[in-house]
A and B are shown apart, each in its own frame.
Chain A
Amino acid sequence: MKLQREKSDARQIAQDVLQWLGTEEARQATAEGERNLAELARRFEQARAIDARELHEPFTV
């Protein structure tokens, strides 16, 4: 649930965020984020792996 704070309450918002980051909900969300990042890294690697054949075919047109 989003806390209703004025933007000027920066210090209070920071305390709320800090407190929330210590909750089980935050831990689970962070763990899921880490898993997604690992999957993202794997996908990045796959998407950018160059087929060696591509390097040997000439550009002739």
Chain B
Amino acid sequence: MSSSAASPHAPFKAVEYTIDALVDAIADAAYNQTTDGILARRHAKYLNNYLQELGAGTIVIEYDYVDRDYLEDYAAYYVRCFPNYSRRCTRLHFFSAKFTHAELSLFVAADPGATVTAEALNSAYLGFVVVKPLPQTVIGRTCLATYSPKEGRVFPAARSFTAQLFGVTLTIASTLPFQEQDSVVAACATSALWSVFHATGREFQHPIPSPYEITRAATHLLPADSRAIPNKGLTAQMMAQAIRGVGLEPLPLKVGEREWLKIELYGYLCACLPMVLGVDLIDGTSATNWTSLGRHAVAVLGFNLGAPATPLQGTSLVLRSSRMDKIYVHDDQVGPFARMEMSDTDLRYQLPGSALFTAPSMSTSWPSSVGGEVRAVPVLALAAIYHKIRITLPTVLERVAAMDDFCRLITTIAPLALDALEWDVRLTTVTKFKCELRERSPLVGPRRQDALTRSMPRFLWRATALRGDTPVLDLLFDATDIDSGDGMSACYAYDDTVDSVLLAVGNAPNAAGISMSHAVRQALRALVESR
């Protein structure tokens, strides 16, 4: 047990990674906390499992660490509390390599006999956890590497972050900051927004507010019935206000249908934009009544494509997003990159005094209090987007569906193999599109030159038709246009036969008697113009 009012420690300590070492380090940094108290909370167990999966070998404890986010919260709230909470934190760094405190000390002192090197530290770096000097909610800014790459598992919203330790720049190639709510200046929604803003801040160059600043921005125009600080939660409307506070536009999305949840998450996450997902948490079993635990918000950062592709209900349009079977979220009550598995079938559940509900649901890592499981029923998703992104997914999907229909139709009479396409529909930018095209596209000659040199809007919806994993066709829609506008920026066919056929049709779209939809005409016109 310790009070962090003053730091009696040496500047750092390196210890072998074990769960005991992790819990001791957290308890030592917290305010009047015991190891049992830390172990009783689910974060320590979750972090231990996660770090073991990453292969943690050594913890370097950096005492007396100034964390900007905590300092903002401290200045706004904790400094006026009667207990003497410290304004300094402790940062725990994790490395996959094993080295001793003595070996690290030799490196810091630049001793000629040092075996640890800056390069070795950097390549073994797994990330850090800031421990706040508070009594209960101690897990502050946490940047840990994502799970290792695996077929189908992607974290599009994660990006590289660096940390400085003893003059060494340590890089985490793929992460996004996480922290648990302190239930004072931040509830779950604030923590989720805080993580989202770390990605949008990089993408759209806006300052990243601290949890306190987010809660203030969310509530100053929309005061809750109770006081804003200590904060007990935000509504979607308040979250939208916080998003406007950083200069972005909130886009609330209904995700009560399983396929729409997947479509929206896939479309925006692939543009490196994490989303806040609001869920109803329910606890129970199929044999008992379910109990509502309340509404919870998490930040969605990644997904797994492990399910077979299926057509969008009532259509023959097959989207790559339909393969999504798991999502990875920063759940402030669980930990970073927590897995939530989507169920294939709707959950039938009844809450006390309520009617029977049928809804899609996902697994969670929350412990059940009745020996069953805690499931999450999606309520809404909230994206924070740049104001120039105006065209939404349904508008794009309608046009993609028209093109898919046309491809099927002409395959009934010609050997083009366009009758089983899978469409990858995502938001992107002209920069990303051109980089991907230059690095990976089979496009050559004048069409490649056109694609790389053509002036295009900054934001694009990209719909790639795939035959297996081979791209056949790319439709690019101007995401900055208006719904009633042309919207089509470019169209490229990667298969020469398909290109020749579509070009011939595109060159004669207005010939007497030729029937095709407006969306297809627009796509073919763009294809003709691309040479």
Residues of A within 8 A of B (CB): 1-5, 7-8, 10-11, 13-18, 20-22, 26-27, 29-31, 33-34, 36-37, 39-41, 43-45, 47-51, 54-61
- Hey, what's the 0/1 contact readout for B100-135 against A, CB within 8 Å counting as 1? 000000000000000000000000000000000000
Q: Select the residue from A29, A45, A60 with max chain B CB neighbours within 10 A.
A: A60
B224 located at the interface, meaning its Cβ lies under 8 Å from any Cβ of chain A in the complex: yes
In the complex, which residues of chain B have a beta carbon less than 8 angstroms from the beta carbon of A7? Answer: 415, 497
Residue of B nearest to A27 (CB): B515
B469 located at the interface, meaning its Cβ lies under 8 Å from any Cβ of chain A in the complex: no
B209 to chain A, nearest CB (A): 18
Is the contact region of chain B dominated by helix, strand, or loop, or is it mixed? mixed
Instruction: Report, as a range, how many residues of chain B touch the other chain.
Output: 35 or more
Q: Is the CB of A55 within 8 A of B235?
A: yes
CA distance A35 to B496 in the complex (A): 31
Q: Is the CB of B413 within 8 A of A1?
A: yes
Residue of A nearest to B332 (CB): A61
Q: Is the CB of A13 within 8 A of B497?
A: yes
Q: Is the CB of A48 within 8 A of B295?
A: no
CA distance A22 to B511 in the complex (A): 9
Q: Is the CB of B296 within 8 A of A15?
A: no
CA distance A50 to B382 in the complex (A): 11
Q: Is the CB of B505 within 8 A of A60?
A: no
Residue of A nearest to B413 (CB): A20
B394 located at the interface, meaning its Cβ lies under 8 Å from any Cβ of chain A in the complex: yes
CA distance A17 to B297 in the complex (A): 51
CA distance A49 to B315 in the complex (A): 20
B514 located at the interface, meaning its Cβ lies under 8 Å from any Cβ of chain A in the complex: yes
Q: Is the CB of A59 within 8 A of B295?
A: yes
In the complex, which residues of chain A have a beta carbon less than 8 angstroms from the beta carbon of B513? Answer: 21-22, 27
Q: Is the CB of B415 within 8 A of A3?
A: yes
- Hey, what's the 0/1 contact readout for B493-524 against A, CB within 8 Å counting as 1? 00011001101110010011111110100000
A49 to chain B, nearest CB (A): 7
Determine which of B188, B504, B514 lies in contact with A22 in the assembled complex, contact meaning CB atoms within 8 Å.
B514
